[in-house]
Structure 1
Amino acid sequence: MNYTIKHITATETYIVRHPVLRTGKPIETCTFDGDDLNTTFHLGIYIEDKLVGVCSFFKSKHQLLTEEFQYQLRGMAVLDEYQGFGLGKFILTHGENLLKQKNTQVIWCNARENAVEFYKKTSYKIIGNPFNIEDIGLHYIMHKTL
């Protein structure tokens, strides 16, 4: 499957964030704190000219991790009909490579329960205890050293 990965704006992520991560909720719930900071960047993966997957990276430290230079992965999503083709791995790896160039030491995320296996396959590890995010569900803190 031929794909292209591009830097996109926070607003452009909504076309994928909304149906995958905020199903049935108002579009405003697709806005994340820090989306527009100059240290944040958003990536989109395209099949032909259609945006089918997104992920966002926020400069943010987690208290359970000791590394100085950390980024948080948020809003990772691939449209349902494009899941299972490796697109999530492609866009995530692209973001990780960009963060390595910024001397980032660790990436962490709050992984939904149904995404834990995906992250494990890309070398992320669980730390801490599972927790619930209201109206969204059970999550695990996962991290990967770069």
Structure 2
Amino acid sequence: MIEIKNIDYTTTFSVRHPVLRDEKPIESCFFDGDDLKTTVHFGLFCDKKLVGVISIFKNKNAIFSAQNQFQIRGMAVLKECQGKNFGKQLLDQAEQYVITQKGNLIWFNARENAVPFYQKSGYEIVSDAFEIKDIGTHFIMYKKN
């Protein structure tokens, strides 16, 4: 059984850590803004086990003119659960949430290896490649609602 529900930001760490911050301290799983009232976190549970997470921040990026922007951060699915459409379900949940908030643009910094996944859902690259220290190559991607 698959269920997606709101979770606390600290709950995201059990998925963020092994997928996004492996071999780094658990404290590196906290992102600026995680604890703001305008930030929401969703967890995907498979048979009651948390296997995927996504966080949506109300955050404006100056490269876009849209007024009501949201940023996705910390999207991750446990390695053993990848390839089961869980990431797509989390992304769809985030998009639906942004619609309820009358958001008109979603953007994020995508890891290079995740770009094809996001492109399949209609996201476009809008930047040159850039490095995030100790994390890797990223691209800014976006999608308008």
Give the TM bin, normalised by the shorter chain: over 0.9
User: Runs of at least 4 residues of structure 1 off by over 4 A?
Assistant: none
1:39 maps onto 2:61 in alignment: no
What letter matches 2:84 in structure 1? F
What letter matches 2:41 in structure 1? H
Determine the C-alpha separation between the residues in 2 that align with 1:128 and 1:78: 25
Please give the TM-score of this superposition, normalised by the length of structure 2.
0.99
* Gapped regions of structure 2 (runs ≥ 5): none
SS in structure 2 opposite 1:114? helix
Q: Note the alpha carbon deviations across 1:15-62, whole angstroms, 9 max, x for none.
A: 000000000000000000000100000000000110000000001011
Please give the TM-score of this superposition, normalised by the length of structure 1.
0.98
What letter matches 1:119 in structure 2? Y
Matches within 5 A, 1:53-132: 53-132=52-131
Structure 1 residue 4: deviation in Å? Answer: 0.2
Determine the C-alpha separation between the residues in 2 that align with 1:71 and 1:21: 20
What letter matches 2:87 in structure 1? G
Contact 1:4–1:45 (CA<8 Å) still a contact in 2?
yes
1:140 maps onto 2:139 in alignment: yes
Structure 1 residue 130: deviation in Å? Answer: 1.1
- Give the length in aligned residue pairs: 145
Determine the C-alpha separation between the residues in 2 that align with 1:8 and 1:45: 9
Computed over aligned residues only, the root mean square deviation of the Cα atoms, in angstroms, reads 0.6
Structure 1 residue 64: deviation in Å? Answer: 1.2
Q: Note the alpha carbon deviations across 1:84-112, whole angstroms, 9 max, x for none.
A: 01000001101111110110000000000
SS in structure 2 opposite 1:128? coil
What letter matches 1:141 in structure 2? I
* Gapped regions of structure 1 (runs ≥ 5): none
The corresponding residue for 2:15 is: 16
The corresponding residue for 1:26 is: 25
SS in structure 1 opposite 2:74? strand
Contact 1:44–1:53 (CA<8 Å) still a contact in 2?
yes
SS in structure 1 opposite 2:127? strand
Determine the C-alpha separation between the residues in 1 that align with 2:83 and 2:138: 21
